[in-house]
Amino acid sequence: MDDILGWILALVESVDPVLRTVLAGVGILLETSILVGLVVPGDSIVIVASTAVEGPVEYFALVVTVVIGALSGESIGFALGRFFGPRIRHSRLGRRLGERSWQRAENYLDRRGGPAVFISRFLPVLHSLVPLTVGMSTMKYSKFMAWTIPACVLWAFAYVSVGSLAAGSYRELSDQLHGAGYIFVGIIAAFALLVFVVKKLIARSEERHMVHPGDGDANTPG
């Protein structure tokens, strides 16, 4: 495993740091913009890019770029929702998501307001639908930004920190400890499990805000 992991990390490191950082920003922009987050694994792109971080300058440059990319993507989603929301909702892709998903996003925003914007950044499906839904609502862009900026900052620091920590630990121990690759995998796996559990707990606790009282699915995780 160490040889394969070392080769992969070396491959990521071989990419120019500026290009690597820009690609991560573009990836998260696509992940957070109009419904693309349903197919583009922005979190994976950020973690891969963060494994090549060397020093605080590259670390903070990547965090800032990811935050800017996320906010740009969410701003695009907001603008498209504002000007083309109904058309997107009734488009082929919008219909494939199902009316129930759109209705849940609307219910959540109506009942929770700003906190729904913050929390949805950490929930599957909703993190792609909420910017569009906010655009179709009466919420002002300034209020939307006030809630989504801290969520994007928290998200960026979490993912960049985990990727750089895992890779840094591996590099420090690879020459001293046989099987150091398992430490890298363990850190990533533990983080992935933590993210999965936290998302499930948040979805379960927020579910009641996403459904009408008579829908009969209030206990279904989001």
Q: Tens of pLDDT along 174-218?
A: 666 666 667 777 888 888 888 889 888 888 888 888 886 555 444
pLDDT score of 222? 38
Residue 5's pLDDT is 55
> What are the tokens at 221?
């995780």
Which pLDDT value is given to residue 8? 63
pLDDT of residue 3: 54
The confidence score (pLDDT) of residue 207 equals 87
Which stretches of the chain score pLDDT less than 70? 1-9, 34-40, 170-181, 212-222
Tokens 């109009």 -> residue:
34
Cβ–Cβ under 8 Å, residues 1 and 181? yes
pLDDT for the residue 64: 97
Angle, helices 42-50 vs 17-32, to 10°: value is 160
Q: If you search the block for the tokens 């792109």, which residue do you land on?
A: 45
What integer pLDDT is reported at residue 22 of this predicted model? Answer: 93
Q: Which of 114, 109, 164 is nearest to 132 (CA)?
A: 109
Backbone angles phi, psi at 210, to 5 degrees: -105, -10
What per-residue confidence (pLDDT) applies to 219? 42
